[in-house]
Structure 1
Amino acid sequence: MSADAAPPAERVDRGLLRIAFILVLGTFMATIDATIVSVGIDTLADEFGAGVAEVQWISTAYLLAVVAAVPASGWLADRFGGRRTWLAAVGVFLLGSALCALAWSATSLTVFRVLQGLGGGLLPATGQALLARVAGPGRTGRVISIVAVVPLLSPVLGPLAGGSLLAVAPWPWLFLVNLPIGAAAVVLARRHVPDIPPSDRRTAFDLRGALLLSPGLAVLVLGLTEAAHGRTLPSALAVAAGLAMLAAFTVHGLRTRRTPLVDPRLFARPPFGAAALALLVLGASVFGTTFLLPLYFQTGRALSPWEAGLLLAPQGLGAAAGSVLVNRTIDKTVPRTLAVSGIALIVAGTLPFTWLGHGLPDAAVASALVVRGVGMAMVGAPVMNIVYSRTEPQHLPRASGALNLLNTVGGSVGTAALAVVLQNRLAARGPDISRAFADTFWWVLGFCLLAAAGATRLPRTHVRKS
């Protein structure tokens, strides 16, 4: 067999699909909750008599907690086992959801959102690592291509679900809707998901690294968020402090004799470094766009949250179609080919939005979003498959944690950075809102090109099956 020949595909049986469905419920709850609340910000502001800036912390606190939690996912899975860690994360998320529904003020809701975000940040990474461990290298690509579509759908489904709930129920149901889903996930996981034992190699928790990495990321995202609101001095101080803590963590990770929370050396090892760059920048592009478009639809076109969510639906349809395509071809096509082709489609689907100032019709918006959705589905699963299938089983939790951290950080930092760009362009363009958004989408295209640079460094050969 030549280096580029496709290895024989292993069968994905019903049992593995059932496990994938169960674990993806956790990812679905965590990712959709980040967007489902966004359409309720005005409702929550009226309910608690709070200003928009204060209520905005309800979303920001969740995001910061997710960013802070992801780095610890690998150590927790190593120490307590994959299934146990995943079940505990679901429990924390559900507790946070129940408390959010009982909140009596904007401040209490913000605190409970932090608890919810800590559980939500652990779910995607631990779920993916557990699924890759159960599937084995020969089936990882196909099964990951199925579950990877969920984070792509949630930014589309979240606003629709939030708008629908608020149309028929009071605001606590934005959080109570998680309880039956989470309860079903726990019952099914205890019955059907195998109990992966903890790692034989017990390592002490990297407390110093945790005190540098998680707060550093959170403070960096906070600083960029402050910049988007025009608060220059607090923003500059927070960004500088965040970068300083991340630099200190890198030095610590290279020097420590213990296992660091996230090993900086991973990023110098192929194919992890190229995969990391692709996912980091792609996260900025994908999640940045799902921030920009709903805002444009509501401010530039005066659409309701429901109408804005409906106009985003074609991206979800494209992602679903792309997931089917990847599932059928991932074992026959070199992963780098899929990833680079996917980024090319994202570029093609993003380019029309640089013409928003010229009255882009709804049909063109919908078509572009379908193309973007297909491209998004063609990138994440192949890149993760490359890493997971070339990683020893005992190292999967930490590799999954690192990849999910990069995707999360890319999405949050990219969104915050694009908010800053948009704020500047709105100030420069004045009343011409459409052209300000069009200017900002050129930055999204730049992110796509950086992701392409990372994807072209992925391996030229098929993933080796063991």
Structure 2
Amino acid sequence: MSGSTATKVDAALWRTAFTLVLGTFMATLDSTIVAVGIEALADRFDARVTDIQWVTTAYLLAVVTAVPTSGWLADRFGGRRVWITAVAVFLLASVLCALAWSLPSLVAFRVLQGLAGGLLPPTGQALLARAAGRERIGRVLAVVSVVPLLSPVLGPLAGGSVLAVADWPWLFYVNLPIGAAAILLARRTVPAAPPVEGRTPFDVRGALLLSPGLAVLVFGLTSVDQAVPAAVPVSAVAVGAAMLVGFVVHGLRTRGTPLIDPRLFARPPFGVAALALVLLGASVFGTMFLLPLYLQTGGRLSAWETGLLLAPQGLGAAIGSVLVARAVDTAAPRTLVLTGIALVAAGTAPFTQLHHALPDTVIVLSLLVRGVGAAMIGAPVMNIVYHRIEPARLPRAAGALNLLNTVGGSIGTAVLAVVLSTRLAAHGSDPPAAFADTFWWVLGFALVAAIGATRLPRPVHEKDRSDA
């Protein structure tokens, strides 16, 4: 069966995957590449670093806002058209960011960039799943899903490299050749995905509850550690949570098609897969938030040196993707995911001992192990879901999966920032101890994910195929 034409991953499918992954790479890289330019932007606009952080925060909030709408847009206008339009808008926003004349204008253009960037991963993933079919999607996802794992590592490296030879606008101009190539290739290599027949009306009420609710919740969590009155983040978290509860109630009661159907999460194994993706996002992006801060504390390492030390996680992710590509259609999903979580936990455990001045060798090996483990979680989990979703529902399922990973990364990072702040206040003159305490939370994320992963399917996918 594996050698048949139906299951062979041919050159045409790899060309499609390469094209679509360019958009994901551009969008996810841009979420981290600007981080190393915060000081340069503060000097350019004569602003405080805390104000410049809005360049990153605005992008994140816009991404969280855009992801839930990706499924409806693909159903209404066709997946390839939406994807190409999102790339074009992203490039336009990149040029506007590079030409920004003030901090408010830069933040506004970053919002536009984030709205377009938020559509690229879920729309691209749905197009890829449709092109690959159920028989091949697992092996293809195992390779392309490594891209989001690489962005937290490559972003600081790329940003540091750009700023070493050019001024800050090139942090945004660097997107132009990638995006232009993606648009040209998409017209030749990505099969058209026509709009869904019997178009459903846009879920206006759901959109007013879900996207703003997520944005307000993330804003509240990311504001906890900033110089704002305590009532601001508390109120934002409460309002955001209430709006999300309202969306769930609306999604369960509406007779129309909700933006994201809450019932999906009650359908095995979607709920367990959702938990795994949320915690994977929290663990990967949380660690890439904590470690650079630790390594650069007191000027120990430069941004470039930090990026080099973090690179082994990217190497580990590449190795893990190769292993998963070979095993995803034969090994039990539960086995792959639990093994991946165990490796992530093993790679995280040494960081709980940062107060003992870990050698760089230990950090490098730990990140390598974490990278391998992280790659073994995402692709099998998404493969399980895509095997149980009919083609017509792929855009909305892809939107839900990507939303979970995005929200997990943003909320997990925000929670860890709050924990780190409280531990720094508690330890005072011993920052490494504060970082070590915070990494216990990252380890806790992995343990909770392991408990949930025990509910994943044990057989490969034969039952899924017969049920479909």
Give runs of aligned pairs for residues 35-434 of structure 1, distance below 5 A. 35-229=32-226, 231=228, 232-299=230-297, 302-434=300-432
Q: Could you say if the C-alpha distance between residues 6 and 463 of structure 1 is closer, same or farther in structure 2, counting changes exceeding 3 Å? A: farther
Structure 1: tracts of 5 or more residues without a match: none
Deviation at 1:149, TM superposition (A): 0.3
TM-score of the superposed pair, with normalisation by structure 1: 0.97
Of stretches 323-332 and 38-47 in structure 1, the one that deviates more from structure 2 is 323-332
Deviation at 1:229, TM superposition (A): 1.7
- Structure 1: how far apart are the matches of 2:191 and 2:355? 53
Deviation at 1:427, TM superposition (A): 0.3
Deviation at 1:302, TM superposition (A): 2.0
- Structure 1: how far apart are the matches of 2:219 and 2:250? 23
Structure 2: tracts of 5 or more residues without a match: none
List per-residue Cα deviations over 1:209-264 (Å, max 9, x = no partner): 00110000000010011112253210101001101111111111111100000111
- Structure 2: how far apart are the matches of 1:54 and 1:7? 56
Aligned letter for 2:319? A
Aligned letter for 1:36? I
Aligned letter for 1:444? V
List per-residue Cα deviations over 1:434-464 (Å, max 9, x = no partner): 0000000000011111111221111111124
- Structure 2: how far apart are the matches of 1:450 and 1:147? 26
Q: CA RMSD in A?
A: 1.4
TM-score of the superposed pair, with normalisation by structure 2: 0.97
Deviation at 1:191, TM superposition (A): 1.2
- Structure 2: how far apart are the matches of 1:248 and 1:228? 27
Residue 228 of structure 1 aligns to a residue whose secondary structure is: coil
Deviation at 1:131, TM superposition (A): 0.2
Residue 11 of structure 1 aligns to a residue whose secondary structure is: coil
- Structure 2: how far apart are the matches of 1:35 and 1:450? 27
Q: Which runs of 4+ in 1 moved over 4 A?
A: 5-9
Residue 138 of structure 1 aligns to a residue whose secondary structure is: coil
Aligned letter for 2:213? G
Aligned letter for 1:204? P
The answer (yes or no) to whether the contact 1:97–1:116 under 8 Å persists in 2 is yes
Q: Could you say if the C-alpha distance between residues 333 and 211 of structure 1 is closer, same or farther in structure 2, counting changes exceeding 3 Å? A: same
The answer (yes or no) to whether the contact 1:326–1:378 under 8 Å persists in 2 is yes
Residue of structure 2 aligned with 1:458, choices 441, 456, 461: 456
- Structure 1: how far apart are the matches of 2:120 and 2:363? 33
Deviation at 1:300, TM superposition (A): 5.3
- Structure 2: how far apart are the matches of 1:96 and 1:424? 37
Deviation at 1:6, TM superposition (A): 9.7
- Structure 2: how far apart are the matches of 1:69 and 1:412? 14
Deviation at 1:334, TM superposition (A): 1.1
The answer (yes or no) to whether the contact 1:311–1:366 under 8 Å persists in 2 is yes
Residue 200 of structure 2 aligns to a residue whose secondary structure is: coil
Deviation at 1:201, TM superposition (A): 3.0
- Structure 2: how far apart are the matches of 1:304 and 1:191? 42
Percent of residue pairs bearing the same amino acid type: 71
Aligned letter for 2:450? A
- Structure 2: how far apart are the matches of 1:105 and 1:429? 38
Q: Could you say if the C-alpha distance between residues 201 and 456 of structure 1 is closer, same or farther in structure 2, counting changes exceeding 3 Å? A: farther
The answer (yes or no) to whether the contact 1:390–1:463 under 8 Å persists in 2 is no
Q: Could you say if the C-alpha distance between residues 146 and 303 of structure 1 is closer, same or farther in structure 2, counting changes exceeding 3 Å? A: same
Q: Could you say if the C-alpha distance between residues 167 and 215 of structure 1 is closer, same or farther in structure 2, counting changes exceeding 3 Å? A: same
- Structure 1: how far apart are the matches of 2:414 and 2:3? 42
Partner of 2:447: 449
Deviation at 1:200, TM superposition (A): 1.3
Aligned letter for 1:410? G
Residue 240 of structure 1 aligns to a residue whose secondary structure is: helix
List per-residue Cα deviations over 1:303-337 (Å, max 9, x = no partner): 11101111100100100111111111111211221
| Number of matched pairs | 462
The answer (yes or no) to whether the contact 1:253–1:260 under 8 Å persists in 2 is yes
List per-residue Cα deviations over 1:350-379 (Å, max 9, x = no partner): 000000000100000000000000000000
Residue 296 of structure 1 aligns to a residue whose secondary structure is: helix
Aligned letter for 1:28? F
Give runs of aligned pairs for residues 14-29 of structure 1, distance below 5 A. 14-29=11-26
- Structure 1: how far apart are the matches of 2:420 and 2:261? 34
List per-residue Cα deviations over 1:90-142 (Å, max 9, x = no partner): 11111111100000111111000000000100000000010000000000000
- Structure 1: how far apart are the matches of 2:98 and 2:2? 51
Partner of 1:438: 436
- Structure 2: how far apart are the matches of 1:47 and 1:54? 13
Deviation at 1:301, TM superposition (A): 5.9
Of stretches 159-168 and 199-208 in structure 1, the one that deviates more from structure 2 is 199-208
- Structure 2: how far apart are the matches of 1:201 and 1:280? 33
Deviation at 1:282, TM superposition (A): 1.5
Residue 32 of structure 1 aligns to a residue whose secondary structure is: helix
